[in-house]
Amino acid sequence: MSLDTAAKLEAGAEEALELPPRPRPSMLMIVIGLGALFFTVLSARRVEFSPGDLISNLTRSNPVFDGLLNMSWDEMFSSRSRKAFVETLQLAVLGTTAGVIVSLPLALWATEIGNPYVVPRLILRSINNVIRAIPDLLWAGLFVLGVGIGALSGLLALFFFSLAVMVKLTADTLDGIDMGPIEAANAAGATHTQMLRTAVVPQILSAFSSYALYDFELNLRASAVLGLVGAGGIGQRLDFFRNRGQWDKLWGLVLMFFLVVFVVERISVSIRRRLV
């Protein structure tokens, strides 16, 4: 290396380096950004949203918020509320268990690994897409109309809701498993069912258990709302106080429910962390 180039290199180290020209933001991103802004403003105008109204309405003395400040503690522990809480938990446990058990074979049959036949697989996937498109509250409403007011409707709603969640998550997990053990099981002369049980299920079991717990959390929260359409559980009790305008008791129940969900969720999250 000549002295000259060495000197140049030295100088170059201190000079600001010239970057290539900065790429322009893509046209598509600009259009999407402007579109999002436009629809937000349009929607706000349509629903006549105004921050002023929001504040004045919320700060005006109203019975609902008065109830929040004078929460009734005795309703939290009344025997009727306790019964409703127990029913909510039972709904969540039963709905989750039933949904989880049925979801495993359905998830297997909805994937190429478990079901080599294209047409039945597509049918199963489409049915599951339809089930998933219906929100839990709508399921509950449908079953209340179909089988009547009460916990059975709630149970059925949670069952279908669980199926939708579990089949989707499990099928996605199945798509990413190691195919090696499957080949080994086939080479050992296993039947299709044996292969699924020994080579596939052990691979997804911890993820599946984790999804089941997550599904239980979802169902517990959903079961509170289900009562609003008459599908049993604590929601029916909440609805009762709402209709009578007994806001202090309503808020007491809401707080209690919050505590139950919080505790269950903490436990579930810590178990799930250990599973994965």
Partner 1 sequence: MIRFDKASVTYPGGVSAMRNLDLEISDGEFVVIVGLSGAGKSTLVRAINGLVPLTDGGLQVNDHDVPNLDRKGLRALRSEVGMIFQGFNLVDRTTVLNNVLMGRLHQVPTWRTLVARYPQADIDIAARALERVEILDRAYTRATNLSGGQRQRVGIARALAQEPKIILADEPVASLDPPTSHVVMKYLQQISRELGITTIVNLHFLDLATAYADRIIGLRDGELVFDGPGSAADETTFRDIYGRSLTADDTMAKQAAL
List interacting residues with partner 1 (CB under 8 A): 178, 180-181, 183-191, 193-195, 197-199, 202-203, 205-206
Instruction: State which residue, 62 or 191, has the beta carbon closest to partner 1.
Output: 191
Instruction: State which residue, 97 or 206, has the beta carbon closest to partner 1.
Output: 206
Instruction: State which residue, 8 or 192, has the beta carbon closest to partner 1.
Output: 192
Q: What are phi and psi of 95, to 5 degrees?
A: -60, -45
Instruction: State which residue, 40 or 191, has the beta carbon closest to partner 1.
Output: 191
Shortest distance (Å) from residue 192 CB to partner 1: 9
Instruction: State which residue, 90 or 206, has the beta carbon closest to partner 1.
Output: 206
Per residue in 195-218, is it b (16+ CB within 10 Å) or e — as a string?
A: bbeebbeebbeebbebbbbbbbbb
Residue with tokens 């998830």: 107
Shortest distance (Å) from residue 188 CB to partner 1: 5
Burial of 252 (0-12, 13-18, 19+ CB in 10 A): buried
* CA–CA dist 226, 140 (Å, integer): 6
Shortest distance (Å) from residue 190 CB to partner 1: 4
Shortest distance (Å) from residue 180 CB to partner 1: 3
Shortest distance (Å) from residue 163 CB to partner 1: 21
Q: Which amino acid is at 183?
A: E
Mind spelling out the 3-state secondary structure of 68-115? Answer: HHCCCCHHHHCHHHHHHHHHHHHHHHHHHHHHHHHHHHHHHHCCCCCC
Q: Which amino acid is at 51?
A: P
